[in-house]
């Protein structure tokens, strides 16, 4: 059946019609919240009072955020967690990816899948699992440390009493960092393994003929060739580390732990909006966090000098 001319779709408009569902959803759930958040950053508003209760306050929300000691503490906590969990990810993932690439041929997919499994596992399930592992009296972490303390010459390294990981202000951040590291190291292994497979074998063969050792090949061939992927992985770690929310939120019950030592900036924004009903201040803090993320991403780009090129 031939459609009337009025109902026919012009070839010039066909691509836009096909992608219109995505554009519509992106506008509703992406662009609008972003713009509304920027608008709220200059307003004083409690959602329970209705939209008509909005009051323009200019830069007061930003001034409040910059003077809020809890906001700065959450930024320090976030930076500590980002470094403590992000740096070891890459220091472990790169040599591990090289080892898998060189030693595993037939079983490579299975090994990579095992390392990648934590990344696709539910964050809630991971946090609940590690809550049990870090339990003071019955957790496997403390049980393992106590067993290690009974080994001669190693007892002095282990505290005599079980560690209260989840309630001690000095222990909660290392516990969160371990969870984040465990979850994302496999993701970085997959990234670096994919990059390793693009390095020409001729480079290694020529280096071997010239008498270069495996260690020299790693530092002078592998690492320079991995530079674009390292840049990509570090950038993702910076962005993800500064937006850390799920793991510390579940592990601390959404309150940031003892002395707020596990409270990240994302958790503080959530509490400012939904616990304290100050959406204006929360929006201002979110845009300040955006500036910090953008600045550190730019610094990462400058640190790698040439960005995506080795």
| Residue 115 belongs to a domain | yes
| Residue 43 belongs to a domain | no
The answer to whether residues 129 and 250 touch, using CB atoms and an 8 Å cutoff, is no
| Structure confidence by residue, pLDDT tens digits, 71-122 | 999 999 999 999 999 999 999 999 999 998 888 877 778 888 888 898 888 8
| Residue 24 belongs to a domain | no
Identify the pLDDT of residue 308: 44
- Where residue 262 sits, what CATH number does that domain have? 1.10.3720.10
| Residue 138 belongs to a domain | no
Ranges of residues in the chain with a pLDDT under 50 are: 307-310
| Residue 308 belongs to a domain | no
Identify the pLDDT of residue 306: 53
| Residue 283 belongs to a domain | yes
Identify the pLDDT of residue 210: 85
Structural domains of the chain, count: 1
Task: Look up the domain containing 220 and give its range.
Answer: 52-121+173-303
| Residue 33 belongs to a domain | no
| Structure confidence by residue, pLDDT tens digits, 287-303 | 999 999 999 999 988 88
Identify the pLDDT of residue 180: 92
Identify the pLDDT of residue 3: 57
Identify the pLDDT of residue 268: 93
Identify the pLDDT of residue 289: 94
Q: Which ranges of the chain would DSSP assign to H, the alpha helix?
A: 14-26, 32-40, 60-67, 69-103, 108-120, 123-133, 140-149, 172-196, 201-209, 214-217, 223-242, 246-251, 265-274, 279-303
Say what the pTM is.
0.85
Identify the pLDDT of residue 253: 80
| Residue 251 belongs to a domain | yes
Identify the pLDDT of residue 35: 93
């Amino acid at each position: 059946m031939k459609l009337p001319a009025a109902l026919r779709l012009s070839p010039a408009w066909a691509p836009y019609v096909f992608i219109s569902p995505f554009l519509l959803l992106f506008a509703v759930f992406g662009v609008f919240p972003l713009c509304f958040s920027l608008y709220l950053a200059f307003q004083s508003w409690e959602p329970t009072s209705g939209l008509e209760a909005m009051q323009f306050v200019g830069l007061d929300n930003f001034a409040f955020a910059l003077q809020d000691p809890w906001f700065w503490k959450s930024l320090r906590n976030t930076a500590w967690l980002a470094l403590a969990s992000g740096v070891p990810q890459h220091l472990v993932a790169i040599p591990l990816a090289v080892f898998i690439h060189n030693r595993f041929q037939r079983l490579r997919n299975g090994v990579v899948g095992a390392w990648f499994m934590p990344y696709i596992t539910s964050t809630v399930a991971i946090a609940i699992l590690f809550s049990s592992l870090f339990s003071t009296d019955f957790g496997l972490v403390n049980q393992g440390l106590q067993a290690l303390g009974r080994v001669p010459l190693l007892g002095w390294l282990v505290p005599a009493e079980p560690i209260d990981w989840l309630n001690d202000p000095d222990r909660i951040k290392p516990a969160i960092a371990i969870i984040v590291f465990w979850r994302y190291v496999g993701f970085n292994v997959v990234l670096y393994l994919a990059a390793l497979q693009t390095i020409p074998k001729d480079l290694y063969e020529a280096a071997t003929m010239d008498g270069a050792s495996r260690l020299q090949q790693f530092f002078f061939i592998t690492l320079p060739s991995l530079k674009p992927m390292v840049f990509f992985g570090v950038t993702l770690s910076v962005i993800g580390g500064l937006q850390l929310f799920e793991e510390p939120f579940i592990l601390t019950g959404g309150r940031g732990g003892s002395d707020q030592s596990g409270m990240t900036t994302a958790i503080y924004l959530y509490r400012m909006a939904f616990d304290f009903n100050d959406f204006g201040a929360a929006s201002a803090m979110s845009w300040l966090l955006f500036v910090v993320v953008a600045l550190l991403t730019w610094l990462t780009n400058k640190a790698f000098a040439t960005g995506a090129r080795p």
